Amino acid sequence: SDKRENLTYPLFGQAIRELAQTVADDGYEPDIILSIARGGVFVAGGLAYALDCKNIHLVNVEFYTGVGTTLEMPVMLAPVPNAIDFSNKKVLIVDDVADTGKTLKLVHDFCLDHVAEVRSAVIYQKSHSLVDCEYVWKRTDEWINFPWSVEPPVVRREGQILDA
Ligand code: 5GP
């Protein structure tokens, strides 16, 4: 359909507080927040403050090998988190959306081998997702516009003085 789920920055602020409250009410106290770049970094930063967790890690996951060429499965790009840092830790994986759920499943399966406990938090989850995250702010099947990616990258303008 043409309908869009529109997340604005003000609504994002509300989503973060409510998502964090859900985690806290559940009694889960993560030692590590593991964000999935790039969209998950916004969510992870907000949750890290709201949950008072100072230990944030990041993984890069790639779905594309080139222009228009998609891998069948996403892959984690180096550098991957150090297994020693993760051993016996409670991890909260954070992303913007579980859509197919393939990205989250990849990171979740990676963590299962290394950590004490792992759970996932997302702002949105779609009904066809192959993972069911413990913490979901809102369920939708629409295409989501996120505030950080709804606009194209900025273009450098001519005539700017770049040297001091
Ligand atoms: P997956 O299909 O593996 O669950 O989602 C992979 C990534 O695709 C997400 O982390 C997100 O960056 C992007 N993505 C999936 N669904 C949407 C959507 O509805 N809107 C936007 N803007 N990005 C999406």
Mutate to test the pocket of ligand 1, among 42, 99, 107 (most ligand atoms within 8 A of CB): 99
| Whether the CB of 103 sits within 6 Å of ligand 1 | yes
Angstrom distance (rounded) from CA 21 to CA 51: 8
ipTM for the complex? 0.97
Q: pLDDT digits over 1-42, tens only?
A: 679 999 999 999 999 999 999 999 999 999 999 999 999 999
pLDDT at 63: 73
Angstrom distance (rounded) from CA 51 to CA 23: 8
- Ligand 1 centroid to residue 110 C-alpha, Å: 19
pLDDT at 14: 98
pLDDT at 117: 95
C-alpha distance from residue 118 to each of 6, 53, 86, 124, 154 (Å): 29, 15, 10, 19, 37
| Whether the CB of 140 sits within 6 Å of ligand 1 | no
- Ligand 1 centroid to residue 125 C-alpha, Å: 10
| Whether the CB of 101 sits within 6 Å of ligand 1 | yes
pLDDT at 144: 96
Please state whether beta strands 90-98 and 117-125 pair in parallel, antiparallel, or not at all (unpaired): parallel
pLDDT at 1: 63
- Nearest C-alpha to atom 20 of ligand 1 is from which residue? 144
pLDDT at 161: 72
Read off the pTM.
0.91
- Nearest C-alpha to atom 11 of ligand 1 is from which residue? 97
Higher pLDDT, 158 or 136: 136
| Whether the CB of 120 sits within 6 Å of ligand 1 | no
| Residue ranges in the chain assigned as alpha helix (H) | 9-25, 39-50, 83-86, 102-112
- Ligand 1 centroid to residue 160 C-alpha, Å: 35
- Mean pLDDT to the nearest integer, 51-75: 82
Q: pLDDT digits over 68-119, tens only?
A: 666 788 888 877 877 777 889 999 999 999 999 999 999 999 998 889 999 9
